[in-house]
Amino acid sequence: MDGPSGSGKSSVSRGVARALGLRYLDTGAMYRAMTWWMLQQGVDVADAAAVAARSGEPVIVSGTDPDGPAIRVDGADVAAPIREAQVTGAVSAVAAVPEVRVRLVALQREIIGAGGIVVEGRDIGTVVWPQAAVKIYLTASAEARALRRSAELSGTTAEAQQAAMARRDTLDSTRKTDPLSMADGAVELDTTPLTLEEVIDAVLSVVAERR
Ligand code: C5P
């Protein structure tokens, strides 16, 4: 399940995983965890060489329960801090560093290899697991995506949210390594006019057709 921020990937992926009794992996949380660790260590995240040099150090462990996706860095539960604005503002720069991607993609493939999983991210269908049985590309209008995110976060307006998201999406779509793009064979779903339940149902229909 790939798509830009705010397209509904997390809620939809978790809902689909629950409905089908599958595991769930949030790869964005792994890039956020790496970013959180870099900030904690005082690494200048704008310095790609510095980020690359330290990218092998943090021990990142991702849970795969759709009801409580846990993420730990060096044993600490970072589920809450990785959602803070400082991490959100820095994550695209860290995620653009090839050494970071090589390490996290290898971790992701290890988890996916055990089978039976819904995985969300930006490059899952294109790079991480192109052989996936079902590939979905979720989109939504910029306004809808910003509204959904500002409803989740207090203290930010839809306008401010839209500007920050547009910046992150531009960085994610234009970086050299594994940019966000629709995979060959992916089914594109525009979630703008749909409720969460409707999107989950649409994905479940695609899965049923492919089985
Ligand atoms: O999905 P989420 O918005 O939490 O992802 C945070 C960031 O992690 C994205 O903006 C992107 O820079 C990066 N990311 C990525 N590849 C993925 C998942 C996320 O580069 N597969």
| pLDDT mean values, one per 10 residues, the chain (211 residues) | 93 97 98 98 98 98 93 97 95 97 98 96 97 96 83 72 88 93 95 95 96 76
Cβ density class 29-45: b for 16+ within 10 Å, e for less: bbbbbbbbbbbeeebeb
Of 122, 174, 175, 176, the one to substitute when testing ligand 1's pocket (max ligand atoms within 8 A of C-beta) is 122
Determine whether the shortest distance from the Cβ of 23 to ligand 1 is under 6 A: no
Closest to 139 in 3D by CA, of 31, 12, 24: 12
Examine residue 38 and state whether it is found in any structural domain, yes or no: yes
Examine residue 3 and state whether it is found in any structural domain, yes or no: no
Span from the CA of 27 to the centroid of ligand 1 (angstroms)? 7
Examine residue 2 and state whether it is found in any structural domain, yes or no: no
Ligand 1 atom 7 nearest Cα: 28
> Which pLDDT score, from 0 to 100, does residue 194 have?
95
Determine whether the shortest distance from the Cβ of 101 to ligand 1 is under 6 A: no
> Which pLDDT score, from 0 to 100, does residue 153 have?
65
Determine whether the shortest distance from the Cβ of 122 to ligand 1 is under 6 A: yes
CATH of the domain at 135: 3.40.50.300
Q: Which domain holds residue 176?
A: 9-210
Extract the runs of DSSP E, i.e. beta strands, from 10-65.
Answer: 23-26, 60-62
Q: What angle do CA 155, 160, 163 make, to 5 degrees?
A: 150
> Which pLDDT score, from 0 to 100, does residue 126 have?
97
How many domains does one find in the chain?
1
Examine residue 44 and state whether it is found in any structural domain, yes or no: yes
Ligand 1 atom 6 nearest Cα: 28
Examine residue 148 and state whether it is found in any structural domain, yes or no: yes
Span from the CA of 92 to the centroid of ligand 1 (angstroms)? 7
Examine residue 4 and state whether it is found in any structural domain, yes or no: no
Q: Which residues pair with 190 in a beta bridge?
A: 139
C-alpha atoms less than 13 angstroms from C-alpha of 46 in its C-beta half-sphere: 1
In degrees and rounded to multiples of 5, residue 171 shows phi and psi of -60, -45
Could you report the predicted ipTM of this complex, rounded to two decimals? 0.99
- Sheet with strand 71-73: strands edge to edge: 60-62, 71-73, 76-77
Examine residue 21 and state whether it is found in any structural domain, yes or no: yes
**The token pair that represents 15 in the structure block:** 């809902």
> Which pLDDT score, from 0 to 100, does residue 129 have?
98
Span from the CA of 121 to the centroid of ligand 1 (angstroms)? 6
Determine whether the shortest distance from the Cβ of 8 to ligand 1 is under 6 A: no
> Which pLDDT score, from 0 to 100, does residue 162 have?
84
Instruction: Summarize the annotated binding site for ATP as residue ranges.
Output: 3-11
Span from the CA of 44 to the centroid of ligand 1 (angstroms)? 19
Determine whether the shortest distance from the Cβ of 108 to ligand 1 is under 6 A: no
> Which pLDDT score, from 0 to 100, does residue 154 have?
60
Examine residue 196 and state whether it is found in any structural domain, yes or no: yes
